[in-house]
């Protein structure tokens, strides 16, 4: 999920390279994903084999802590205020992170080489350097989890509904992660006197940690997932409406070819996603259908002078459009002044109502031609 999120936001960053919040979010996701990969036993063993025992543990903690620091900067980047204040906050948190990582490196160097492959379950917790490694690291994690959690709760009060839900879920996960870090500090202290005890405590704590991390990921992706789902539904809807408008558009474009926009896109294709082009094509077709009906409306008024062209049934309007297209001369006199008439006015005052109205007419128009044996595509 972290890798997918990082790739997704990287694509967004190519379209908004100066967005500071987005840049920080990309860095956060990449660092957190890298930290998770470094935590795999196979990766840790390979890194230790290539360097020295204990290096993988320090690198993992440094990368994971940096990812959490970047998560905090995501919230700090969105705080309105002078640039100097933001830079002071960045320097303060970067200094704290650098101090903690330095302390972890010193603890690892101070640990006897034979014991540098230690874990939380090691029986050597009485070694001061080993105990300090976990006490210092987890104390930082408590701060690194709680601070963005508090910021997430603060932003949730001001955010839209879906974003607020995601922020609150993420904050809950971060709070639980902070609790698990406190529990690890307690467990380290307990195991100094009882190296082989309290295993159940650790098992329950790791289970809490996994569930809490899942909550954080759900919170991070909830709002974006809802937006993506809504976007996909919109694309599917616009593709369907685009196809439904085709019969009407084909007839009107043949009568008024000058209304069809054939301009090439100004931006490169790789910068205009296919889903976005779907919306552009739909709106263009909708506008061209409406423009064509405006141009055809004087002839519609002639073939159906008594009909309610603004509110009439779609089947009736489709028949009138066929008759008006037959009445329209191939070449119109440019000196002739025409009076436009309102045609197929939607019940609602939005583009969706407009599209539904014209799509109904287009379906009726295609049905009428199929019944007459004429293929309209």
pLDDT by residue (tens digit) across 322-361? 998 988 887 776 666 667 778 878 776 778 888 888 999 9
Q: What is the percentage of the chain residues whose pLDDT exceeds 70?
A: 92
Tokens 């909550």 belong to which residue?
A: 215
**Three-state secondary structure call for residue 138:** helix
**Per-residue pLDDT tens for 144-158?**
999 999 999 998 988
pTM given for the model: 0.71
Q: In the structure, what pLDDT confidence band is assigned to residue 263 with cuts at 50, 70 and 90?
A: low
Mean pLDDT, range 293-318, rounded to an integer: 86
- The DSSP output letter for 331 is S
d(CA 182, CA 116): 23
> What separation in angstroms does the CA of 69 have from each of 62, 77, 98, 278?
10, 12, 11, 39
Lowest mean pLDDT among 9-23, 119-133, 145-159, 186-200: 186-200
d(CA 120, CA 36): 17
Q: For residues 140 and 104, what is the distance between their CA atoms, to the nearest angstrom?
A: 11
pLDDT in the model for residue 270: 42
Query: Can you read off the two tokens belonging to residue 348?
Result: 């609602």
Q: What pLDDT, in 10s, does the model give residues 211-251? A: 998 898 898 888 878 888 888 899 999 999 999 999 999 99
Could you read off the pLDDT of 292-303 as tens digits, one per residue?
A: 988 888 888 888
Give the span between the Cα atoms of 212 and 183, in whole angstroms: 14
Domain range annotation of the chain? 2-197, 233-371
pLDDT at 335: 62
State pLDDT tens for residues 23-52. Answer: 998 999 999 999 999 989 899 999 999 998
Q: What is the pLDDT of residue 269?
A: 45
Lookup: tokens for 283 = 């709106």
The proportion of the chain whose per-residue pLDDT surpasses 90, expressed as a percent, equals: 39
């Amino acid at each position: 999920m972290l890798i997918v999120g990082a790739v997704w936001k990287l694509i967004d960053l190519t379209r908004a390279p100066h967005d500071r919040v987005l840049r920080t979010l990309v860095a956060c996701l990449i660092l957190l994903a890298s930290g998770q990969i470094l935590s795999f036993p196979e990766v840790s063993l390979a890194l230790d084999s290539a360097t020295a025992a204990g290096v993988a543990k320090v690198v993992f903690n440094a990368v994971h802590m940096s990812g959490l620091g970047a998560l905090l900067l995501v919230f700090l980047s969105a705080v309105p205020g002078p640039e100097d204040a933001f830079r002071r906050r960045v320097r303060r948190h970067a200094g704290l992170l650098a101090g903690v990582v330095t302390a972890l490196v010193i603890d690892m160097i101070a640990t006897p080489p034979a014991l540098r492959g230690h874990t939380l379950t090691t029986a050597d917790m009485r070694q001061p350097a080993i105990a300090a490694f976990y006490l210092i690291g987890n104390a930082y994690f408590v701060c690194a989890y709680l601070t963005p959690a508090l910021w997430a709760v603060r932003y949730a009060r001001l955010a839209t509904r879906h974003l607020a839900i995601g922020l609150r879920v993420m904050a809950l996960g971060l709070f639980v992660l902070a609790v698990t870090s406190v529990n690890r500090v307690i467990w380290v202290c307990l195991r100094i006197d009882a190296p082989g005890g309290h295993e159940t405590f650790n098992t329950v704590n790791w289970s809490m940690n996994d569930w809490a991390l899942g909550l954080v990921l759900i919170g991070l992706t909830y709002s974006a997932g809802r937006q993506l789902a809504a976007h996909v539904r919109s694309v599917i809807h616009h593709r369907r409406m685009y196809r439904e408008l085709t019969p009407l558009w084909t007839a009107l474009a043949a009568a008024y070819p000058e209304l069809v926009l054939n301009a090439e896109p100004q931006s490169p294709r790789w910068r205009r996603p296919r889903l976005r082009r779907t919306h552009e094509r739909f709106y263009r077709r909708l506008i061209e259908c409406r423009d064509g009906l405006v141009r055809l409306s004087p002839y519609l008024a002639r073939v159906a002078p008594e009909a309610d062209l603004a509110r009439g049934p779609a089947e009736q309007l489709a028949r009138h459009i066929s008759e008006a297209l037959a009445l329209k001369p191939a070449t119109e006199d440019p000196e002739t002044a025409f009076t436009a008439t309102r045609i197929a006015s939607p019940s609602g005052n939005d583009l969706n109502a407009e599209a539904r109205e014209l799509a109904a007419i287009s379906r009726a128009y295609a049905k009428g031609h199929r019944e007459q044996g004429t293929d309209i595509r």
